[in-house]
Structure formats: C-alpha cells, structure tokens
Amino acid sequence: MNQLDALKQHTTVVADTGDFKQMGSFRPQDATTNPSLILKAVQKADYAPLLAQTVAAHSGAALDELVDRLLVRFGCEILALVPGRVSTEVDARLSFDTDATVARAQRLIALYQAEGVAKERVLIKVAATWEGIQSAAALERQGIRTNLTLLFSFAQAVACGQARVQLISPFVGRIYDWYKKSAGAAWDEAAQSGVNDPGVRSVRGIFEYYKRFRIPTEVMGASFRNMGQIQALAGCDLLTISPELLAELAANNAPLPRVLDAAAARELPLEPVSYDEAGFRFALNEDAMATEKLAEGIRAFCADARKLDALIQSL
C-alpha cells in the first residue's frame, strides 16, 4: 500500500488545485480552489478555451459576475471528477464586508444550482477575518456550507467553532514559512520538522480542542510544503494537498500510521475558550505570525483577483 492509500484510511484526502485534469489518478474525495489556482489554470493552453467560452457565453455581464461564472465553471468540471465537495472562494476584496460576502456567496450557490449542482456539494470559502466568520455564520444558518480559509491562529479557529462553520483550513506551510523566516540563521530544520513543525503543532492544537469539546467543525490542514507535514497530520479530518505532493505520497510505499486521534483528544485536560469581537481582535493582534500572514494572504489573493479581472477584460 502506498502512502496516499494509507492516508485515505485515516483522513479524507482533498486535491488542492484548479487543474482538474490532474485529479483523476489520485481519486480525491473533495477538491479546493482559490483565486491563485484558478488564475494559474486559465493561463494554461488546456484551460484557455474554458475562459474564452465563459466570457463569450455571458458577454455584457458585469465583471464580477463573469468571474463568479468562471469559478463555477471550474467547480462543475471538478465535481464531475470527485464524489464529494468543491470549495469555491468569495472575492478576497470582500474580506472585511460581511453583507457583501453573504451576497456573493448566495450568487455562487445560485449559479451552481442553475447548473444542477446541489448546494451540499459546494463549500463557500471565506477569509477568516471577524467579518468573514460572521458572514459564514449567517450563511450556515441559510444552509450554505462554508470553508474558512487563511486561518493561522487558535483564536480564528475558536471563533469559527463558535460560529459552527462547516470546515476550517489552517495553513500549515505558511505558518512554517513565517517561523523559519523569523528564526533566520538560527532555524534548525531537523528540530522543527514532522510533529515539531510549527504549522503541524498549530493544526494539532486546533484538532485536539475541537475534538475535546465535540465541536463539529471539520479541520482540513492546508498549504503544505513537504511530505513530513502531511505525514505528521495523518488522522486529521481532511488534508488538502497539491498534485505534486499527492504524487509523492503515491510513489512512497513506507508505512504511514495515524498520528492524530480524536478519541484520545477527548480525554485531554483542556479549558474551553470563547471570544466576542473585541476579544477576538485582541487575541489575533497578540499573534504576530497570524496577523501578518492573514494580511499577506488577503493581499496576495486580491492581487491575483485583479490579474484575473484584467485577463477577462482583455478578451
């Protein structure tokens, strides 16, 4: 048994890509996309016709509607290949606007439903700002399931659990990147790898807290830099993995045991935590890594959204 098949025994494997033609050989349950992945995909020859067809079919539509239709087109193609769900992201430029995020999410779901896709097969991705979490709570009350992304801190995870969102995506690799850069020449890669990786430790803490207090929100580790991070999180509810790392797992026949254990976590001596808005903002501000990576992530997704806008306008 290769490590990809072994991982699937403990964890739901999700493909992290907009390149749906790569997915078939890995047989993931779900798939996730984001603005950067979609932008990367539509610049490939294989997907350029899909972009052109979408724009031509809806000429005269507003730019933001064309973007949403393109995202849904990719999502529908992906759902033809995976048995589970696809995550589709609301424009990151709305990350601090609760009402606009809700409206954009509702439109995405309506577009999916017009294509015959049940809303249960779609997770709406929203940045885990305070406003994003509140929009997700409102969407969940409407039966629209959400995936809270750009999640770097325990405070974000607690607030998402309070909001009873469907799923969170803690960014393992970007947490690792921050600590490695911060340490500079003092960074010891061997000592900070596997279960000691700062990104892995963050996800493990969130996973154990959720399981200890039976919070139903799913934990999906994301943004991996290496195999060791994935191996150290075997047993997490879900892991979303790039095609390149999926291929590495499939080529590795070494044993891959479960590391995270929900039953064991329920016995841990943890204390419950809760946040109101002021408490959340203070806790996030106290975490320099999370504050910086959240802001950086939103800026990067916004930059790629603008590039995608320009690409559409050029047709």
- CATH number of the domain encompassing residue 148: 3.20.20.70
* Whole-number Å distance between alpha carbons of 307 and 304: 5
Cβ neighbours of residue 130 closer than 8 Å, sequence gap 6 or more: 159, 277, 280, 281
Q: 47, 139, 49, 66: which is closest to 101 by C-alpha?
A: 139
Q: 159, 94, 103, 164: which is closest to 127 by C-alpha?
A: 94
* Whole-number Å distance between alpha carbons of 238 and 119: 20
Q: What is the DSSP-derived secondary structure letter of residue 197?
A: -
* Structural domain harbouring 203: 3-313
180 is catalytic: no
pTM for the predicted model, two decimal places = 0.96
From first to last of its 315 residues, the chain has per-residue pLDDT tens of 999 999 999 999 999 998 888 887 899 999 999 888 999 999 999 999 999 999 999 999 999 999 999 999 999 999 999 999 999 999 999 999 999 999 999 999 999 999 999 999 999 999 999 999 999 999 999 999 999 999 999 999 999 999 999 999 999 999 999 999 999 999 999 999 999 999 999 999 999 999 999 999 999 999 999 999 999 999 999 999 999 999 999 999 999 999 999 999 999 999 999 999 999 999 999 999 999 999 999 999 999 999 999 999 998
189, with CB counted inside 10 A (0-12, 13-18, 19+), is exposed
Beta bridge pairs of residue 220: 238
pLDDT at 258: 97
CB contact at 8 A, 10 and 2: no
Tokens read off for 220: 């999906």
* Whole-number Å distance between alpha carbons of 132 and 138: 10
How many domains in the chain?
1
Q: Where are the alpha helices (DSSP H) in the chain?
A: 3-10, 35-42, 48-57, 63-79, 98-114, 130-141, 154-162, 172-183, 198-212, 227-231, 243-250, 262-265, 277-286, 288-313
pLDDT at 92: 97
Tokens read off for 101: 């995020």
Tokens read off for 167: 């799923």
pLDDT at 124: 98
pLDDT at 5: 97
Among 125, 180, 181, 293, the active-site one is 125
